Amino acid sequence: MSKPQALSIYKAFRKELGRFVREGQVHIDRASQPSSLPRVMFFASQADSGGSGYLRARGVGLALRSMGWRTLMPNSGLTLSQRQRLIALEKPDVIVLQQARHPLNRPSFYPGVPCIFDLDDADILDPRCANDVVECARESKAVVAGSRYVAELLRPYNDNIAVIWTCVDRDISHPVRASESRDPIIAWASLSPSGFTNEAKLIQDAMVELAKKAKFTFRLYGTSDPWGTRPADWAHRYAEPIRNAGAEVELTPLLDYDSFLQSLESVAIGLQPVCIESDHSRGRSFGKVLGYLTSGAAVIASNTVDHPLFFKNGTNGLLVENDSAQWAEACASLLANPFLRAQLAVAGRTDLGRRLVSRKAAELLDPILRHVISATSSSQ
């Protein structure tokens, strides 16, 4: 046997072993929960910590347990046969399919079990997955959307639809560094900033303008990844005008979620621009707002999408129109007034604890789950 063949066999063995271990973990989880409770299984599209699958599937699933549910959240790497084997053993009353990006997240694979389709982004506008999204929406008993805009995009395919914002999955009672004592660091945290052209231009122009008014450091997240598949060339070109205007710039690569939140604890102001000229941007959920609020940064957000439903301007954050001069002025006002910045940060984090934690999402999902189960039972 050649060395390449041996390596290929070894990799295949490790992959199968990993799947076996991940399925075993689900069985251990099953054994630890009461058998008499109503049962729901969550199938996330990705297993990444801190991503929407982690927050909207695993985070909500764990929160439901304290509300009288038996929940399982299998790893997204399991095969269809593994999923079906678990379903045969568990006999769930309902399945939640989080996004359609995973090829196994289709109601047709799970006959006899009612499905709820959960979508936090406007994937229906992406030609690569639009048909899959429509299939999931049509064949599910109910749909949960991450925003009002996504809900309206899906309504033609399922009128049993509700909006539940993406929520953070962790305890936020631990103290964080006071905003007024932080260095003047302004962050734009995006998973892939180069993919949001309008927002990138807005923030770049605003930071150049702000450099005329104040001393600060601009921290750009998501500039590259640890595997080298996302080059940082774009980020260096993007940062050049801001540096030339006199601001310090920090380029931060993609981080795991815990490291990301820890890094945000040094940030004074977090920026959440959304330019609705782009349908993709318009369909985004709260996303990185959760990180800013969890870590105690004051938030400046676009006065659009669902932001005004959470932020009260001047109370728990600042809402501004998508004009670079207004963004620069808002940043300058918070840099010059640490007391106001601290007020916004504290109020924002408090409201996060009331409205954007997994317990709240679970409370909103609970009646949807029960209604689907009840409707399915009565129709049989």
Q: Nearest to residue 208, comparing CAs of 331, 318, 299, 321? A: 331
- pLDDT averaged over 10-residue windows placed end to end, the chain, 380 residues: 62 67 91 96 81 89 97 95 96 97 97 96 92 98 96 97 94 88 96 90 98 97 67 87 97 89 96 90 79 96 95 98 98 97 97 95 98 88
Residue 142 is assigned to a structural domain of this protein = yes
The stretches of 221-357 forming alpha helices (DSSP H) are 233-244, 257-264, 279-282, 289-294, 307-310, 324-336, 338-355
Structure-token pair, residue 23: 């399925």
- Clarify whether residues 277 and 347 are in a common domain: yes
Residue 313 is assigned to a structural domain of this protein = yes
- Clarify whether residues 361 and 350 are in a common domain: no
What range does the domain containing 43 cover? Answer: 21-169+357-379
Structure-token pair, residue 71: 């929940």
Residue 13 is assigned to a structural domain of this protein = no
- Clarify whether residues 146 and 97 are in a common domain: yes
Residue with tokens 């006071």: 178
Residue 147 is assigned to a structural domain of this protein = yes
Beta-carbon contacts of residue 8 (< 8 Å; ≥ 6 apart): none
Inter-residue contact 331 to 300 (CB < 8 Å): yes
Beta-carbon contacts of residue 361 (< 8 Å; ≥ 6 apart): 56, 59, 60, 63, 164, 165, 166, 167
Distance of CA 47 to the CA centre of its chain: 12
pLDDT at 53 (0 to 100) = 85
Looking at the structure of the chain, the number of domains it has is: 2
CATH number where 317 lies:
3.40.50.2000
The predicted-structure confidence for 191-246, as pLDDT tens digits, reads as follows 888 889 999 999 999 999 999 999 999 999 988 755 555 566 889 999 999 999 99
pLDDT at 273 (0 to 100) = 96
Distances (CA, A) of 63 to 47, 358, 368: 18, 6, 15
Beta-carbon contacts of residue 74 (< 8 Å; ≥ 6 apart): 22, 23, 26, 41, 42, 43, 82, 83, 86
Residue 213 is assigned to a structural domain of this protein = yes
